[in-house]
Structure 1
Amino acid sequence: MLGPNRYGKAETRLVRVHRDGESHGLVDFNVSIALSGDLTATHLTGDNSGVLPTDTMKNTVYAFAKEHGVGEPESFALLLARHFVHTQPQVHGAKVSVESFAWDRLGPHSFRRRGDHVRTTVVTVTADATQVVSGVSGLVLLNSTDSEFHGFVEDGYTTLKPATDRILATAVDARWRHAGDDTDWAASFEGSLAALVSAFVGTYSYSLQQTLYAMGAGLLEARPEVAEVRLALPNKHHYLADLSPFDLENPGEVFIAGDRPYGLIEGSVVRDDAPAATAEWWL
Structure 2
Amino acid sequence: MSDRSDEARPIDGSQASPRGLIDGSQASPRRPTPETPASDGDSGSGGSETAPLPTVGETPPTATLEHTAVPDRPVGTPFLTARGLTATGRQGPIFTDVTLTAGLGQLVAICGDGGDGRSSLLLALTGRFPHRTGALEVDGQTRPGHIRRRFTIAQAGPPIRFDPYATVGACIKETTTVSKGTATRANINAWLDRLALTIDTGDTFGFLPRIDQIRFAIACAAAARTPAIAVDDADTGLDTCGSERVFEALRTVADAGQLVLAACTRSDPPADTIIDLRAQEPPAADERRHGRNRKGAHS
Which bin holds the TM-score, normalised by the shorter protein? under 0.3
Using the size of structure 1 for normalisation, the TM-score is 0.25
User: Highest Rg: 1 or 2?
Assistant: 1
Using the size of structure 2 for normalisation, the TM-score is 0.24
